[in-house]
Amino acid sequence: MNREVFAAVSDALERGEPAALVTIVSTTGSTPQRVGAKMLVYSDGRIVGTIGGGCYENDAFWKAREAITSRKPQIVHYELSDDFAQETGLICGGQMDVYIEPIEPSPELYIVGAGHVGFHLARLAHEVGFRVHVVDDREKFANSERFPNAVEIVVDDIPAWIGRASLQAHAYAVIVTRGHTNDLEALRALAPRELRYLGLIGSRAKVARIYDALVEDRMSPDALKRVHAPIGLDIGAVTPQEIAVSILAELIAVKHGKEHPGAMQWTPPQLAKP
């Protein structure tokens, strides 16, 4: 049975599909399954394997679904009491601990803009395990010579490509194009998406102008509140290399569930005080 679970874990990682692995790590007394029994739970509720069935497996199932969202592992203790035995028909009376571990694929990072910042960010992000996708409308910048480690290089109209692309909810996207108009259109296409991270480069004044323009075009203010802008942790970065480091630091912080301390507190125009 565990061979089937291991194969499912491998397939999930290959497909880029988040899941959570539930493993019995200790037992005392009589239990339905032995130490090492495993169950893989997907975010859509599918299951591969079993840790014994019954209400405790159901409880572990829901905790695994929560772990996929929180991305935090946990150990859960179960007392297989008389009440449990009566409910399930299993005569156990033991105790067991299960370890619930989120299984996350290598994070997908979409760098929208292949200029200087995008170039340095792609190199650094690859080194720490991101699968890098580069999107730009200029083949002179978006090519395999400049981005040899990218898993995908797209040369296309940026908003048109984003409109066709299927970005998964656990993906990261960074908007670092060459100008205000391109940033505006890229954000217009990406902001409504459910993404793990979406960041926009630019000064606070520029970001505010872009946000105001999108709200005037009926963009949801809630969608814009999820955007990390100005992008990157505030480390005083100036050069493209330093800005890339600040962006990557923020990506890593989000990956590990750390709070983002530097996002601009933006107020929609209709809510601003006179």
Residues above pLDDT 90, as percent of the chain: 61
Give the tens place of pLDDT for each residue, 15-45: 878 899 999 999 988 778 899 999 999 989 9
Looking at residue 274, its pLDDT comes to 34
Give the tens place of pLDDT for each residue, 201-236: 988 899 999 999 999 988 988 889 889 998 999 999
Looking at residue 1, its pLDDT comes to 60
Q: Which two tokens stand for residue 257?
A: 């569930």
Q: In the chain, how long is the greatest CA-to-CA distance? A: 71
pLDDT confidence bin for 251, thresholds 50/70/90: very high
Looking at residue 145, its pLDDT comes to 97
Radius of gyration over alpha carbons of the chain, in Å?
23
> pLDDT at residue 144 above 70?
yes
Domain extents for the chain? 2-103, 108-271
Looking at residue 16, its pLDDT comes to 78
Q: How many CB atoms are closer than 10 A to CB 215? A: 18
Nearest to 161 by CA among 224, 111, 234: 111
> How far is the CA of 16 from the CAs of 12, 188, 237, in angstroms?
6, 25, 32
> pLDDT at residue 261 above 60?
no
- What number is the average pLDDT over the span 50-60? 86
pLDDT confidence bin for 102, thresholds 50/70/90: very high
> pLDDT at residue 271 above 50?
no
Does a cis peptide bond (omega within 30 degrees of 0) precede residue 230? yes
Residues above pLDDT 70, as percent of the chain: 89
**What CATH superfamily classification does 108-271 receive?**
NAD(P)-binding Rossmann-like Domain (3.40.50.720)
Give the tens place of pLDDT for each residue, 176-191: 999 889 999 999 999 9
> pLDDT at residue 126 above 50?
yes
Looking at residue 93, its pLDDT comes to 62
What whole-number distance in Å separates Cα of residue 122 and Cα of residue 114? 9
The pTM of the full predicted model, rounded to 2 decimals, is 0.77
